[in-house]
Amino acid sequence: MGLHSTYGLTRIINARGPYTPLGVSRSGEGVATAVAAALSEFFVMAELQDVADRALARFAGAEAGTVVHCTASAITLAVAATMTGESAERIAALPDTAGMPRAVVLPAGHAVDYGHSITQAVRLAGAVPVAVGTEEAYTLEDLENGLSRPDVACLLLVSSRLVRGAGAELSEAVAVAHRHGVPVVVDGAAQDFRVDQLLRTGADLVTVSGQKYLGSPTAGLVVGRADPVAAVRAQERGIGRAMKASKEAVVGVLAALEARHGLDMEAWKKQQADKVADFVARAGALRGVTAAPVSDPTGLPFERARLTVDPAVSRMDAAALESALRSGSPSIWVMPGGRPGAEEVLLELVPLTPAEIDAVLVRLAELLPT
């Protein structure tokens, strides 16, 4: 906690998940050591990037991979790649898209906001987002209609708990796009555990954040077919200049991939399940709330703890509990995203230490009636 005292910063307990405004994630020791070593070295950056690109492709089981600044930029650059291919002229022209396909079709409910709207990441490349269907649902027919325009660059799909509305299986949507000869970009920023599944949908490019569950420094990972990945990397001579991965990020990604490779997934899953079960048992014993484990809607391999508040007993609703947790010291951040209209908060315990979990329970006990 040295930096917090040095700079007078708020101490926090992050039960909100890999959230950018809170610093996203904790990197492990291997990543921290590798990053520190990288900072004082020079590299032939193209060579370093080649090594990381190959490691990333192996990790994902993809033909190819590359590292850019973050996933927001990975989305912009993936869209750019579908408009320019490896044409140096087109790459230099962006964001001027004269003479290029420029429509990016996406289901309306996939126009997620992760701090800004994903449609702005699309527009940043010079492309034009075209939403199909409604917030509530989209059908394959909606997609067919959107994709039959003459100027489509790609179909953009999102795999995230932020996605709204019902729709087709991703693989069905990908198949429709491919029947139209349109490439598909899938944004799975927090889906590093499921990147192989996202590739199996047939997507041409999948974007993932290095700094979310993988625990690297901020980095956007792009994996998929060799040609479009090469076209993403080629953007470094164009708009990608402003979205480049730093040497410490690339080295950090390599270390994070090694750490993930060495992770005993079954043991890790059991550890997460035990942590949630223990928290739910202890929180459930408090008055004014009930607690239950809930699985992740996208299929991430861990559960979260859901607290359902009974305002008649606790004398506060879920929003008041959330704000009371946040205004204490340390400031405890929980996840919104309980079911609509329900008095619920979610807690993601993945990066928390046992001492932090104890501190959350102590604070809950102080706030709730005895």
Ligand X SMILES: *Cc1c(COP(=O)(O)O)cnc(C)c1O
At 206, which helix (H) or strand (E)?
strand 205-209
Burial class (CB in 10 A: 0-12, 13-18, 19+), 1: exposed
The size of the chain, in residues, is 370
Cβ distance to ligand X smaller for residue 116 or 315: 116
Axis-axis angle for helices 265-284, 354-367 (nearest 10)? 20
CB of 289 to ligand X, least distance (A): 28
To the nearest whole angstrom, how small is the minimum distance from the Cβ of residue 211 to ligand X? 6
Tokens of 211: 């700094």
In angstroms, the Cα distances linking 73 to 123, 203, 204, 277, 335 are 11, 18, 17, 37, 25
* Residue corresponding to tokens 């900072």: 39
Q: Which of residues 133-172 bind ligand X (CB under 6 A)?
A: 158, 160, 162
Kindly report the number of other CB atoms within 10 A of residue 18's CB atom. 22
Closer residue to ligand X (CB): 78 or 162:
162
For ligand X, the closer of residues 82 and 211 by Cβ is: 211
Taking contact as CB under 6 A, which single stretch among the options 138-146, 184-192, 227-235, 287-295 is the one that binds ligand X? 184-192
Question: Residues 3 to 42: which contact ligand X by CB under 6 A?
Answer: 20
Task: Write down the least CB distance from residue 179 to ligand X, Å.
Answer: 26
Q: Which is nearer to ligand X, 187 or 303 (CB)?
A: 187
If the CB atoms of residues 245 and 280 are measured against ligand X, the closer one turns out to be 245
* One of 100, 189, 232, 367 touching ligand X (CB under 6 A): 189
Residue 220: CB minimum distance to ligand X, A? 5
Candidate residues 53, 187, 192, 296; the one interacting with ligand X per rule CB under 6 A: 187
- For ligand X, give the closer residue by CB, 221 or 332: 221
Alpha-carbon torsion 243, 244, 245, 248, what sign?
Answer: negative
Query: Of these, 190, 221, 223, 360, which contacts ligand X (CB under 6 A)?
Result: 190
- Peptide linkage before 95 cis (omega within 30 of 0): yes
Q: Which is nearer to ligand X, 131 or 190 (CB)?
A: 190
Closer Cβ to ligand X, 114 or 138, answer by number: 114
- Report in angstroms how near the CB of residue 19 gets to ligand X at its nearest: 8
Tokens at 46, concatenated? 């193209």
CA distance 358 to 163: 32
> Whole-number minimum distance, CB 218 to ligand X, in Å?
6
DSSP letter at 218 equals S
Q: How many CB atoms lie within 10 A of CB 311?
A: 13
Q: Which residues pair with 155 in a beta bridge?
A: 105, 184
When binding is defined by CB under 6 A, the residue of 209, 235, 272, 314 that contacts ligand X is: 209
Smallest distance, ligand X to C-beta of residue 20, A: 5
The conformational region for residue 349 under phi > 0 = left, psi -120 to 50 = alpha, else beta, is alpha
Are the beta carbons of 152 and 127 closer than 8 angstroms?
no
Reduced to 3 states, what is the DSSP secondary structure of residue 365? Answer: helix
Task: Choose between 125 and 364: whose C-beta lies nearer to ligand X.
Answer: 125
Decide: residue 147, CB within 10 A, 0-12 exposed, 13-18 middle, 19+ buried: buried
Site stretch for ligand X (CB under 6 A), options 30-38, 47-55, 129-137, 186-194: 186-194
Q: Which of 12, 22, 108, 112 binds ligand X (CB under 6 A)?
A: 112
CA nearest to 324, candidates 368, 285, 284, 289 = 368
Q: What is the footprint of ligand X within residues 68-87 (CB under 6 A)?
A: 70-72
* Shortest distance (Å) from residue 325 CB to ligand X: 23
- The closest of 128, 121, 117, 20 to 77, measured between CA atoms, is 121
- Residue 145 CA to residue 186 CA, distance in Å, equals 20
User: Closest separation between CB of residue 162 and ligand X, Å?
Assistant: 6
**Residues 211-240 contacting ligand X, CB under 6 A:** 220
Nearer residue to ligand X within complex by CB, 108 or 112:
112
- Min CB(317)–ligand X separation in Å: 27
Chain contacts with ligand X (rule: CB under 6 A): 20, 70-72, 112, 114, 158, 160, 162, 187, 189-190, 209, 220
